[in-house]
Amino acid sequence: MDKAKRFARRGVRSGLLSVAVLLLATACATSDEENSSSPSSSSTPPAGRADAPSKDNPNLLRGFRSWLKTNKSSKDDELAEHALSVSLDYSDGRSGVAKVLTNYGPWGRAESQVGPLAEAFTAWWDKDPAASSAQFLSQGGKTVKETALYAGDKPENLLTEFRSWVTQNTSDGRRLAPHITALTLGYGVKGSGAATVSTNYLTYKAPQTQNCLESISEAFAAWWEKEKGVSNVTVTSEDQGSQAEKELTPAS
């Protein structure tokens, strides 16, 4: 049976950011007290990234629901209505985590209700390395069940790949990349997905924080490379005092 969700395997991509990105990165560099040189030129192509969800099913929630509804079982049709959103969370030191928000609950009952949906999601995920585990949340946002999705030795971490790309493809990537701490791709029932990039910048400590966030948002847009599935990115400071938002132009 064809899966409604597929992630294309990683490939090597190349290219440089626009002049606007370089100017923003330069402005950000003036606020950093550390002394470091720009990345040296190299014949090695920049690190690639795992592609966005396949063009056939760019929204993970819709893909999962569609897969459930293609089965003949009426039970699966009912399960689909209990999945409200799907997100992929990437952070340092761990593999990707798929989080599925449900309408099960209240919390005391959700633990006994979520089992069939968790089993279906695990089967649909089909051991894709984009996430190693899944967390299922009750209507109140509490994790009520966790399952393993991928146990192989080559898990994918989009945060690591994005930071590597920034380091190699922006004029001030060596300064920007260490400040990027997390990446989340979220998918709901309506509209396209949204990306959130978290940083450890503190607005009150770094006057040029906004410029740095703008640089990272421009870098994300270039790295995402017009893939479908995500329509905008928001980059935030650790104290939530600053943020940069950018719309992503999908491929035509």
Query: At which residue do the structure tokens 């009952």 appear?
Result: 109
Domain ranges for the chain? 19-31+154-247, 60-86+101-148
> Which residues lie below 8 Å from residue 78, measured CB to CB, with a gap of 6+?
none
CA-based nearest residue to 223, from 206, 209, 235: 235
Q: So what's the pLDDT on residue 251?
A: 53
CA–CA dist 209, 8 (Å, integer): 34
Neighbours of 175 (CB within 10 A): 21
Q: Is residue 38 packed enough to be buried (19+ CB in 10 Å), middle (13-18) or exposed (0-12)?
A: middle
Both tokens assigned to 205: 């400590």
Residue 190: partners with Cβ closer than 8 Å, 6 or more residues away: none
C-beta separation of 242 from 251 below 8 A: no
Reported residue count of the chain is: 252
Q: 190-194: long-range contacts (C-beta < 8 A, 24 or more apart)?
A: 191/231, 192/58, 192/59, 192/228, 192/229, 192/230, 192/231, 192/232, 192/250, 193/58, 193/59, 193/60, 193/229, 193/230, 193/231, 194/230, 194/231, 194/232, 194/233, 194/234
> What is the mean pLDDT for each group of 10 consecutive residues in the chain (252 residues)?
31 32 48 45 39 56 90 76 96 92 90 94 94 96 96 93 97 96 94 93 90 97 89 96 90 52
The set of residues, in sequence order, having a beta carbon less than 8 Å from that of 139 and lying 6+ positions away, is 101, 102, 103, 104, 105, 106, 110
Contact 235, 216 (CB under 8 A): yes
Non-local CB neighbours of 103 within 8 Å, separated by 6+ positions? 81, 82, 84, 139
The predicted pLDDT at position 123 comes to 92
Q: Rounded to two decimals, what is the model's pTM? A: 0.79
Tokens read off for 117: 């949906």
Of 195, 200, 194, the residue nearest 179 (C-alpha): 200
